[in-house]
Amino acid sequence: MTNRKALGMTAVLLGMVMVWNGCSAVQVRDRTYLQAIEVKNADQTEVQLHDFETPGILSETAGDNLDAALQKASVFIGKELFLGHLELIAYASPAFTERLSQCMEEYRLSPACKVLGLTKGQTLEETDTQHLMEQLRRAEDSGLFPETDLFSVQRELEGTGGTALMPVLTRDGDFAAAVVTAKQFCGVVSEKAAAGLCWLRGDNYPKQLALSEKENFDISYGTIRLSAYAEDDHVAVTAVVHLQGKGDFDQAAALIKSQCQAAITETVKECHADVFDIEACLRSQCYAYLEKTTWDEVLKNITFEIQVVDRL
């Protein structure tokens, strides 16, 4: 066979493959781009779908599992569903938490997608999800609420403790931080503890601390470093907050310390949860100690010291 014939055959073969494959490509107009989904039950799954344009619900269907429910929704809407730009997954049933990883892989969700827990009886049926998302982002940006997303929840769940922090929507419509495991919600932390978690997790700091009715501390720089050392029967973790700003430094430091202490008490001590990378810190700095004891023992005996130092 000459080169030309071989090239010609290759081109024809390639063309056939391309046409065969390409003719089934879904056009842009034949897709619905979902913004949020609400999963109501983990067993007989009901889903409510929200897109970027329709205020309120786009569709509400039920199926044996999430896949079946989404497929029914696709038929109902008349278009293929695209979840690549999904911004919010909301659910009330704690058991759905362990399905998050599977959803992320199967539907190729963005790791930055937000996860929101709903209290019993609550639904997003009448909610403008766009507005809800903006509120959540605002709360995180302001440092009032710890930053979480689908990936951070999964990463924390994969830890030895199997706990994660995620936002929940209270009956009043406010956001609260909840400690969750793969199967249940362990507890909701207080506002003070949530603020403390913002510092301990190191992702988002407030721009301002309200010291009193009239006085504020404007924060220009903040960072935290966790260090740990092992003693005979326990691990001592020191969290050093480097702070820089305008205002009464001592008062600000005291406030931060109390917030962090509250966060530690409510998460580590009460819920036995690791929601600010304690395990990673211990693994890098107290590996030998970690190897010879159990995680429960570590959490039971761990001590914390919070220091706030002036960056300058």
Partner 1 sequence: MNKIRSGQLFTVLLTCAAFTFLCQSAAFTMEGVFGEGIAAIAQILLCIPIVFLYRGGFSFSAYARRHQLLPLIFIGYLLIRGGVSFVRLQQSSSALSLPISGDLLAAGLIALVCLYTVSLGIHALARSSTLIFGILMFALIIMFIGAIPQAEPQNLSMTPEDSIWQGFLRGMYRADELILFFMLLDFCEKKQFRTAAAIFTGKFALAAYFALLGMAVLGNRMKQSAHPFFSTIAISQPLSTQRADALYLLIFVMLCVIRITLFTVLAAHLLRLSFPKIKYTSTICLGIMLAISAGAAMLSLAGWWHLAALAVLALGIPLCFLLVQKRGGVKA
Partner 2 sequence: MSDNTIEMLLQKKILSEYKSNLACIQQIAKGSSDLLVNEFLLSGLPAALLCCEGMLSTSIITELILKPITQIRMKEPTADNIFSYIQNRQLYSTDRSEAKTYEELFRFLNSGFAVLILEGALTALVFGVQGYDKRGIDEPSGEDNVMGAKDGFIEVVRVNMSLLRRRMKSPQLKLELFVKGTKSQTDLCLCYMADRVPQKLIRQIKERLNEMELESILSSGYVQPFLENRRGCLFDTVGTTQRPDVLCAKLLEGRVGLLIEGTPFALVIPKLFCESFQTMDDYCYRPSYSTLVRWIKYVAFLVAVLLPSLYIAIALHHPELLNRTLLLILAEAEENAPISLTAEAIGVLLIYEIIREAGLRLPKAVGGAVSIVAGLIIGDAAVSSGLISTPMLTVTAIAVIAGFVVPDLAQSVTLLRLAFILAGGFLGLYGISLLGVAVLFNLCAAESFGFPIMAPLAPFYPEGMRDTVTRVGFRKMQSGDFTVEEYHE
- Looking at the Cβ atoms of 209 and 298, the one nearer to partner 1 is 298
Q: Which residues are within 8 A (CB) of 239 and not within 5 positions of it... i.e. 6 or more apart?
A: 200, 224, 225, 226, 260, 304, 305, 306, 307
* 287 counts as binding partner 1 under rule CB under 8 A: yes
No. of H helices and E strands in the chain? 11, 13
Smallest gap from residue 124 Cβ to partner 2 (A): 19
DSSP E strands in the chain: the ranges are: 31-39, 45-51, 59-63, 80-82, 88-91, 114-118, 164-169, 175-180, 185-188, 208-210, 216-230, 235-246, 303-310
Instruction: Give the span between the Cα atoms of 108 and 111, in whole angstroms.
Output: 9
Integer Cα distance of 90 and 117 in angstroms: 6
Nearer to partner 2, 18 or 95 (CB): 18
Closer of 31 and 192 to partner 1 (Cβ)? 31
The entry of partner 1, partner 2, none near residue 2 (CB within 5 to 8 angstroms by kind) is: none
Which CB atom, from 95 or from 112, has the smaller least distance to partner 2?
A: 112
Q: Which listed option, partner 2, partner 1, none, makes contact with residue 53 (CB within 5 to 8 Å by class)?
A: partner 2
- Asked if 162 contacts 181 with a C-beta cutoff of 8 angstroms, the reply is yes
Residues that bind partner 2 in the complex, under the rule CB under 8 A: 18-19, 21-22, 25-29, 31, 33, 52-53, 82, 84-85, 108, 110
Residue whose pair of structure tokens reads 């009715």 in the numeric block: 213
Residue 13 touches which of partner 2, partner 1, none (Cβ within 5-8 Å per kind): partner 1
Q: How far apart are CA 220 and CA 207, in angstroms?
A: 7
Q: Binding residue for partner 1 (CB under 8 A) from 51, 140, 156, 266?
A: 156
Q: How far is the CB of 39 from partner 1 (least distance, A)?
A: 21
Segment lying near partner 1 (by CB under 8 A), choices 64-72, 74-82, 272-280, 300-308: 272-280
| Residues in Cβ contact with 10 at an 8 Å cutoff, skipping those fewer than 6 apart | none
Shortest distance in whole angstroms from residue 205 CB to partner 1: 15
Among 155, 234, 242, 272, binds partner 1 (CB under 8 A): 155
End-to-end, the C-alpha distance of the chain in Å comes to 78
SS3 222: strand
Give contact residues for partner 1 (rule: CB under 8 A).
1, 3, 7, 10, 13-14, 17, 21, 24-25, 84-85, 101, 108, 110-112, 151, 154-156, 158-160, 226, 277, 279-281, 283-285, 287, 291
